[in-house]
Amino acid sequence: MRFGFVAKFVVALTLLVLAIVLLKSTFNRQFTTKDPVIVGKQPLPTKDVIPAFSAMTDVKEKKRAFFNFIRPGIVNANRAIALDRQYLLDLKAGFANDMQIPDRFEDILHRYKLSDEDFSLQTIEKLLHRVDVIPNELVMVQAANESGWGTSRFARLGLNFFGQWCFSKGCGLVPSARNEDANHEVKVFKSVDESIASYLNNLNTHPAYRHLRDVRGVLRQNNEAVTAAKLAPGLTSYSERGEEYVFELLQMLRHNKAYL
């Protein structure tokens, strides 16, 4: 009798463990992006798994989890920009007219959309105006704002945390509220890191954010700190809400200091 009871208990315990594993697997599939995203006619597999931010009911926990998730990619992307900037500063310091054009210099020219420029001190100065970091805190709050703290369809399915657009059919996800005469889509990325790098490159190259780069350049010239609050006004063109959008970002910076 005792043996039979133990056997039944072991079987019941095993079934309970299996049920928990299956339930957990189902829950994870509901809130992650392991399943392929269909873009255009081809499935685009995503490499990163987004935490189930929408399932987090505690606001503090959700904020902490979101910033902890997005911060490493931002730090690494800005570190890569800082290394390119230091390379340009070193190149400027040792520049000579008879120097051969370094491959790395040409690569930076291409990435920062100045490939038509020649190899000169003037071009290096133009690059230094673009090849510079965006404060981590500003990138983090903008990611939170644009992605709804990681819960938006574009973040979950397209790994797009900054609402970046593309304009060829099938390049991304079609917004549900898009005007009939519009043709933009919200771009799909292969990884969160790719999304961050694209966003930073956009701020550092697009004409719409020239004011942001000009403010940053003046701060550099005056040896002043390049802070999120000082650069935020340069993002009025990022949203149709303009100054209201910037005010919202500044509020987010103030209200989330403990997490940033």
- Roughly how many angstroms between the first and final C-alpha of the chain, as a whole number? 61
Question: What is the pLDDT at residue 129?
Answer: 98
Is residue 19 one of the residues assigned to a domain?
no
Is residue 173 one of the residues assigned to a domain?
yes
Question: What is the pLDDT at residue 185?
Answer: 80
Is residue 75 one of the residues assigned to a domain?
yes
Is residue 48 one of the residues assigned to a domain?
no
Question: pLDDT of 8-55, one tens digit each?
Answer: 544 455 555 444 444 444 333 333 333 334 444 334 444 578 999 999
Question: What is the pLDDT at residue 48?
Answer: 76
Please count the other Cβ atoms lying within 10 Å of the Cβ belonging to residue 77. Answer: 23
Question: What is the pLDDT at residue 252?
Answer: 98
**In total, how many domains does the chain have?**
1
Is residue 3 one of the residues assigned to a domain?
no
Is residue 222 one of the residues assigned to a domain?
yes
- Indicate whether 3 pLDDT > 90: no
Residue in 26, 126, 136, 122 with CA at minimum distance from that of residue 76 = 136
Question: What is the pLDDT at residue 193?
Answer: 97
- Based on the number of CB atoms within 10 Å of its own CB, is 196 exposed (0-12), middle (13-18) or buried (19 or more)? buried
- Residue spans of alpha helices (H) in the chain: 2-31, 59-93, 103-111, 121-130, 136-147, 153-158, 192-205, 210-221, 228-231, 243-255
Backbone angles phi, psi at 122, to 5 degrees: -65, -40
Task: Output the DSSP codes for 60-88.
Answer: HHHHHHHHHHHHHHHHHHHHHHHHHHHHH
The single-letter DSSP state of residue 237 is G
pLDDT, averaged across the chain: 84
* Higher pLDDT among residues 168 and 91, named by residue: 91
- Residues 161-182 have a mean pLDDT of 71
Contact 237/153 with Cβ under 8 angstroms? no
Is residue 216 one of the residues assigned to a domain?
yes
- Indicate whether 69 pLDDT > 60: yes
User: Domain span at residue 101?
Assistant: 58-255
Strands 185-187 and 172-173: antiparallel
What share of the chain in percent tops pLDDT 70? Answer: 76
Q: Residue 222 belongs to a domain with what CATH number? A: 1.10.530.10
Is residue 43 one of the residues assigned to a domain?
no
Cα–Cα–Cα angle for 159, 163, 164, nearest 5°? 90
Question: What is the pLDDT at residue 2?
Answer: 45
Question: pLDDT of 126-161, one tens digit each?
Answer: 999 999 999 999 999 999 999 999 999 889 989 999
- Indicate whether 232 pLDDT > 80: yes
- Residues 241-254 have a mean pLDDT of 97
